[in-house]
């Protein structure tokens, strides 16, 4: 009997026949080739998203001028606009600022030292009625409620920094609270300030040498020689009573050479001219100019020098952590949720200047414009 070399018949194992596949319906995407995403393209998109340039290559749709700022600001007159500008310049210090106590004190002291100024361009932006605003400014200045401070050499157009407004009560408060002036000098200066009307220049002969030097050290007067473009004629000087001038000149000895001098030259008249000012006005104007320049630099990062307002605000604030739920969750897990505010330019160089405040300032100065996009909210564009 032959020996069986395999146990297939015994075990019942049978070889299966291949199943016949039924014809399937052809997919409409069968002809498209399947490809893996390109790593170079993905990295380029990621890099563009990190730089804030994603979806920013094409111009935004423009459906008309936007009145977003004038509608959002609840001001009805010039006085309210000045108070609004003074209180909305800076953001509050965040709870996690990322700054030590020395830096926080420096930020707060600088904010406290700034003069209560408001640029005329900013006021015009808040109240969208140029004729009404200018008429109201003239009436307030003539009534003595508001004083117009003009800084020579800072530009005469809308983009200039030298045309500002300040409430008369705030000006008087600064003079009376100044620790660098004596009581008699304060009273004399306030008396002359009330008599010069709308003028912003005072003749040096009104004060004694020690008086105007004390006022210059305190920051309430500035010599015309401090400006590169200090051209002022005698006709523009305020006409004060002759008693004030004679009393000031009587304290100085009369020299024979002065009696022979009947006509004062133009150079001498400029040297004898003092301009009204406020303490730390230069610091305020430099900070304002830096804020405008930073806003324009952020807009120019876009290919068309325009960006949605939301994107522009994110660039202004920086990639900082917030109190939103997803940032709090990341922080609880120990993950990176953004940098601290003290590391951004907004707080390092601009001391926490508010985005909306700078945007209003640049729009009023004619440097940028706001338009409606119809899809992503208001857009901002360099002019």
> What is the per-residue pLDDT across 67-95, written as a single tens digit (0 to 9) for each?
788 777 788 899 999 999 999 999 999 88
Characterize 209-229 residue by residue with b for buried, 16 or more Cβ atoms within 10 angstroms of its Cβ, and e for exposed. eebbebbbebbbbbbbeebee
Whether residue 205 contacts residue 273, with contact meaning beta carbons closer than 8 Å, is answered with no
* pLDDT at residue 213 greater than cutoff 60: yes
The whole-angstrom separation of Cα 88 and Cα 90 is: 6
Position 232 confidence tier, pLDDT thresholds 50, 70, 90: very low
Higher model confidence: residue 23 or residue 94?
94
- Average confidence (pLDDT) over 257-274: 49
Which has the minimum average pLDDT: 148-157, 257-266, 327-336? 257-266
Residue 102 in tokens: 């020395």
Position 24 confidence tier, pLDDT thresholds 50, 70, 90: low
- Average confidence (pLDDT) over 7-31: 56
Sequence ranges of the domains in the chain:
54-65+286-382, 75-250+266-282
How confident is the model at residue 66, as a pLDDT?
81
How confident is the model at residue 275, as a pLDDT?
87
Higher model confidence: residue 55 or residue 45?
55
- Distance between first and last Cα of the chain: 107
Position 326 confidence tier, pLDDT thresholds 50, 70, 90: low
Q: Which residues, 6 or more positions from 56, have their beta carbon under 8 angstroms from its beta carbon? A: 302, 303, 304, 307, 311
How confident is the model at residue 241, as a pLDDT?
41
Which has the minimum average pLDDT: 61-70, 97-106, 340-349? 61-70
147 strand-pairing partners? 166
* pLDDT at residue 277 greater than cutoff 80: yes
Sheet containing strand 221-223, strands side by side: 201-203, 273-276, 221-223
How confident is the model at residue 353, as a pLDDT?
95
The whole-angstrom separation of Cα 165 and Cα 236 is: 20
* pLDDT at residue 175 greater than cutoff 70: yes
pTM for the full predicted model: 0.71
The dihedral through the CA atoms of 239, 244, 249, 250 has a sign that is positive
Higher model confidence: residue 122 or residue 59?
122
- Average confidence (pLDDT) over 296-303: 91
Higher model confidence: residue 196 or residue 290?
290
Question: Is residue 39 packed enough to be buried (19+ CB in 10 Å), middle (13-18) or exposed (0-12)?
Answer: exposed
Position 37 confidence tier, pLDDT thresholds 50, 70, 90: very low
- Average confidence (pLDDT) over 304-328: 81
Q: Which residues, 6 or more positions from 335, have their beta carbon under 8 angstroms from its beta carbon? A: none
Position 273 confidence tier, pLDDT thresholds 50, 70, 90: confident
How confident is the model at residue 341, as a pLDDT?
85
Percentage of the residues of the chain whose pLDDT score is greater than 90: 40
* pLDDT at residue 257 greater than cutoff 50: no
Computed over every residue of the chain, the mean pLDDT equals 76
How confident is the model at residue 231, as a pLDDT?
40
How confident is the model at residue 68, as a pLDDT?
80
Question: Is residue 370 packed enough to be buried (19+ CB in 10 Å), middle (13-18) or exposed (0-12)?
Answer: buried
């Amino acid at each position: 009997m032959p020996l069986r070399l395999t146990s297939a018949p015994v075990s019942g194992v049978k070889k299966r026949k291949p199943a016949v596949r039924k014809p399937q319906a052809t997919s409409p995407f069968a002809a498209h080739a399947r490809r893996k995403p390109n790593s170079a393209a993905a990295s380029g998109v990621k890099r563009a998203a990190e730089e804030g340039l994603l979806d920013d290559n094409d111009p935004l749709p423009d459906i008309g001028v936007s009145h977003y700022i004038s509608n959002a600001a609840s001001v009805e007159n010039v006085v309210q606009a000045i108070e609004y500008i003074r209180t909305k310049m800076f953001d509050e210090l965040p709870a996690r600022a990322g700054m030590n106590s020395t830096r926080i004190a420096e930020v707060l002291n600088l904010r406290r030292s700034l003069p209560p100024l408001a640029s005329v361009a900013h006021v015009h932006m808040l109240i969208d009625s140029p004729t009404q605003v200018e008429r109201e400014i003239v009436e307030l200045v003539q009534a003595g409620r508001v004083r117009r401070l003009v800084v020579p050499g800072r530009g005469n157009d809308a983009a200039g920094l030298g045309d500002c407004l300040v409430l008369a009560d705030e000006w008087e408060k600064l003079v009376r609270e100044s620790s660098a002036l004596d009581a008699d000098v304060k009273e004399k200066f306030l008396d002359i300030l009330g008599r010069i009307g709308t003028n912003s220049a005072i003749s040096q002969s009104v004060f004694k040498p020690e008086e105007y030097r004390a006022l210059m050290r305190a920051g309430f007067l500035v010599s015309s020689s401090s400006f590169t473009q200090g051209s002022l004629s005698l006709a523009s000087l305020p006409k004060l009573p002759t008693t004030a001038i004679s009393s000031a000149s009587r304290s100085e000895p009369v020299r024979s050479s002065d009696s022979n001098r009947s006509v004062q030259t133009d150079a001498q008249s400029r040297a004898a001219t003092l301009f009204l000012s406020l303490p730390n006005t230069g610091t305020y104007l430099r900070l304002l100019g830096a804020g405008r320049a930073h806003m324009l630099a952020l807009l120019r990062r876009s290919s068309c020098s325009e960006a949605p307002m939301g994107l522009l605000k994110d660039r202004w604030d920086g990639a900082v952590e917030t109190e939103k739920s997803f940032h709090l969750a990341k922080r609880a897990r120990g993950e990176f949720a953004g940098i601290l505010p003290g590391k951004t330019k907004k707080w390092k160089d601009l001391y926490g200047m508010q985005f909306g405040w700078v945007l209003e300032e640049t729009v009023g100065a004619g440097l940028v414009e706001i338009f409606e996009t119809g899809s992503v909210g208001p857009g901002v564009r360099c002019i």
